[in-house]
Structure 1
Amino acid sequence: MSFFFESHELDVARRELRRAGKPVALEPQVFDLLVYLIENRNHVVSKDDLFEKVWAGRIVSESTLTSRINAARNAVGDSGTAQRLIRTFPRKGFRFVGDVSASASAPMPAQTASRPAKAVLAVRPFATPGGSETSALGMGLVDAIMTGLARFRLVAAVSRETDDEVATYTLTGAVQRAGDMVRISARLIDHHDGAQLWAERYDRSLDSSFAVQDEIA
């Protein structure tokens, strides 16, 4: 649902207030307060109503409520002196008195299948010529990378079982060992056009395989 008044549009679904097409920054509580006042514009809303609906029944001070009302007024170009849109009724509450029209919000644009909003990074097994110890290092490195990527909200790290068609990017690499030295190479590939976005090679002393895994990951 979107509400229109003067030069403003309040888009409830997108939680956006726009003035003349430009976004107006609002704190979440101020946005919720403004929505509630507009949705209930046909009657005076009491302070208790606001405490219940906006603050979920939590006890807040009068100064907090006053601050949020002033912020809502400021966001829509009103003031406590003018009270052109948000009017105070002493000992009664508040009411949105501006002329409002409403319409259903346009649906959010669908994400295309080829470029999801969250990048999908397929971490493939590293090539490990040279025996079981090198293979164990390669497997541990993949696990360390997957664990590290889990901290990033905009990246979904997936394992070898994932279909290539799902992946946005692919990480591949190799682990080689010569005596006490290990060489690890890695490449990041854009799955959709095959372009190599990044590549690096690391030469490390294999004093501790765990330390090497953590550092390179």
Structure 2
Amino acid sequence: MVQQIGSAVLDLERGTLRRDGEIVPVRPKTFDLLAFLARNPGRVLSKDELFEAVWPGIIVTEDSLTQCIHDVRKCIGDETQSLVRTVPRRGYMFQTAADSLSASLPPATAAVAVGRTPEPMVAVLPFRVDVDDTTAKPLFDGAVEEIINALSYFKTIAVLARHSAFALAQYSDQDIWATAERLGVDYVAEGAVKSADDGYDVRVVLSETASGRSVWAQTFSFKTSEIFAFQRTVAQRIATALVANIESAAMRRTSPAPAANVEAYIHILRGIALLRSYGEGVNQQARDHLLQALERDPDSGLAHAYLALADTIIGGYGSAPRSVLDRARDRALHATALSPDEARCHRILALILLYRGDLNAAAQHFARALDLNPFDADTLAQTGFFEAIRGHGETGLTLLDQAIHLNPMHPPWYYFDRGEALLVLGRYQEAATAFSCLPRKDAWHLAQLSACYALAGDTEKARVCAREGRQLKPGLTIQAIVADLRLERIEDRERIRSGLERAGWDETPLLETPLPATPLKG
């Protein structure tokens, strides 16, 4: 879990703390205390509770706790003690994640990014299945994703994005509820799956986060081939339970079943999962699954769209040969013709058009995707990135912050897109912080980071990034980097050129020890 704390970024999974993109050395007990505070925001933690959490079974003095609190504040830059507050005679209280993020954003975007939406927000967690049933896991993970997607069509409901919902499910039961409430989730939907003779029995429960009260529960029994009707029904029942007057027209225009048969559907799910992952050959494996899906269901718009995306990724995104991008565009257009009301098809087509340089056509399909599914976090994020590279930095950043609100445990590529928007706005240090959060950086990412540091006046860090980037791709010149940029405005491209020149990109000597290439997916 990655959490913004003021100007610092705490990564509980990796056990790291970063400020301005740099790893902050933290002593083990200090990190344990910070992690415990971050998991329990907004409530007073007694000293006894902190002793038990950080020094279980060990007798320590209050001086040890006081010193540890002091170290935590120093590590996160909390000189004003506004994040870790002392509550006299009671203990300490950690500032909420929302307030911490708000402090790091400008007023215009903070309200969008962290303010609670007027719509009730629901998180649909992955259903619990028998671990021995190898078919059920991908099938019901896909069903949950389709339920999330269907709920996003209701403009009276906000839904936590799939990436965050699945990450949330990795917590213990107690932490799920606490974390869900902290993320602004009003309701949690959970399901338990049992195999039946020729299908499944699924118990779905919708509960209120604050009280734990069950709002709606129902058991469904259906054949495997009826999975699509099950998805649609669950989405409708959840929506009906949350609001009195549902926009029924919105549900009627939702996408048809993503495949005509379950076998094709499972191949689509496996293909999408592989495209979201990292590793040698995963994109080609994804392509193979999508081709198998189309063998079983040639009219699946979603399969055609994701196959077009797979071909684009394998080809090198915007660096793919024109013939590859042309074929991908034609396939994505075919996908939208087959599924005109499927927002994901329009979003993928918009991305491919962006890579081809067809910006006006891309704008139309981003707008269509957002109109069809206004609460899809990935669509919001990618539309925000598109607006930013066209020079509309504030609009882009607002959309990206809305995406982060719906998908707080988002995939890494959100950092790059937000960094690009901040760079366009001239907020170079914040842009550098965003780019630094990328877990894997290729030469182009290091070029962006180098330019940001240089434009922010930090020449030393800029030159370090330049050396690392040139080591990854020795032949990459400033001219090639600027030519590859998707920034529409000349002044934005020239700003990057200026930053790279100040960083000495073309003149910086290579490192003696080669660095492994670790390109970012997304």
Which range, TM-score by smaller chain?
Answer: 0.3 to 0.5
What is the TM-score of this pair, normalised by structure 1? 0.45
Normalised to the residue count of structure 2, the TM-score between the two structures is 0.19
The structure whose RCO (Cα within 8 Å, separation 6+) is larger is: 1
Larger helix percent:
2
Larger Rg belongs to: 1
Which structure features the higher share of strand residues?
A: 1
